[in-house]
Amino acid sequence: MVDPWSGKQRAEGFRQERSSRSSLFAIEQHAETIALQGNRNPSGDEAEMSDTETKLVEELVTANRILANEDIIDIFGHISVRSARNPQEFLLSCSRSPAAVTAADIMRYRLDCSIITQTSEKQYVERVIHGAIFQARPEVQAVCHTHSEGILPFACTGEQIRPVIHVGTMFWEGVGWFEKYDEGGNMLVASVTEGKALAESLGSGKAALLKSHGCVVAGNNLRETLMEAIYLDRNARVQLEAMRLGKPFYIDREVARRGASVFEKAFVQDRAWGYWLARLPKGWETATGVSPADGSKLEAAAR
Ligand SMILES: [Zn+2]
């Protein structure tokens, strides 16, 4: 199959499509295009799978907008999701601030971070964070890298983030610590060596701090990972405030492990997703190419 949309033509095509009334059609076209780029001989299941990839693209765009709206990522930072069609590939925006990400920005990568999508867009330098963690952790389905203000005091001091509130129990296994930047590097996690070292710092846990830089969280699905990014920040803020008053009641590891189980449930993740979705500014679907119908359904799930 020959890809009829490539490079500039594709970008232009999406600009035109975004302005048309059929934004859902545009996102489906794009998802199908990127779904097929890694597999030129679609099987009989391709239609169903490409529908799954379409939803993933939609959710990834939505997650970007939520992270921006909740002040977790402003200009820098990113979230990715492993492909449902091929676990050896993942989806991530091109180099774009999350508040501006649209369906047309979602690119497909191999786990070594080489790009599959044909594009002239710039790529995130720190995409190795995602590829390295997806390689090291086959069960991980989504990865998010932020420099959110709540976690930064801990990244700047080495003070541990520990569960102090229920939503913080998601991190009952502890928060890893990364500082092995390349000598002579620029404090970005940009090389394969740095990516691997970061994945090692994460271990089997859900989060790691990057010294004087930010954090990374990894989860079993996109919605869980979004919750982790938001609630690692929330727990850190509350912990810091509590430390100003006295010694916080740190939640015991075993109690935290049990407390965390509720956040693994799909209906809880859907409810949280629906809440953050409902807080997005009016008209965000039109701007991103995400289906309003699906948005309404998810809002209903929040109630
Ligand atoms: Zn960074």
Q: What is the pLDDT of residues 145-197, one digit of tens each?
A: 999 999 999 999 999 999 999 999 999 999 999 999 998 889 999 999 999 99
Å from CA of 2 to ligand 1 middle: 36
pLDDT in tens, 115-149: 999 999 999 999 999 999 999 999 999 999 999 99
Which range (18-27, 83-92, 284-293) has the least confidence?
Answer: 18-27
Of 1 and 59, the structure prediction assigns the larger pLDDT to 59
Average pLDDT over all residues of the chain? 85
Å from CA of 144 to ligand 1 middle: 10
Å from CA of 72 to ligand 1 middle: 12
pLDDT band at 35 (very low <50, low <70, confident <90, very high): very low
To the query of whether residue 264 is one of the catalytic residues in this protein, the response is no
Å from CA of 125 to ligand 1 middle: 9
Q: What's the half-sphere exposure (Cβ side, CA atoms, 13 Å) at 123? A: 21
pTM reported for the whole predicted model: 0.82
Work out the angle between the directed axes of helices 23-37 and 7-19 (0-180°, nearest 10): 160
Catalytic choice (126, 194, 224, 228): 126
Superfamily holding 59-301: Class II aldolase/adducin N-terminal domain (3.40.225.10)
CA 198 to chain CA mean position, Å = 16
* Residues within 5 Å of ion ligand 1, judged at the Cβ atom: 214
pLDDT in tens, 185-233: 899 999 999 999 999 999 999 999 999 999 999 999 999 999 999 999 9
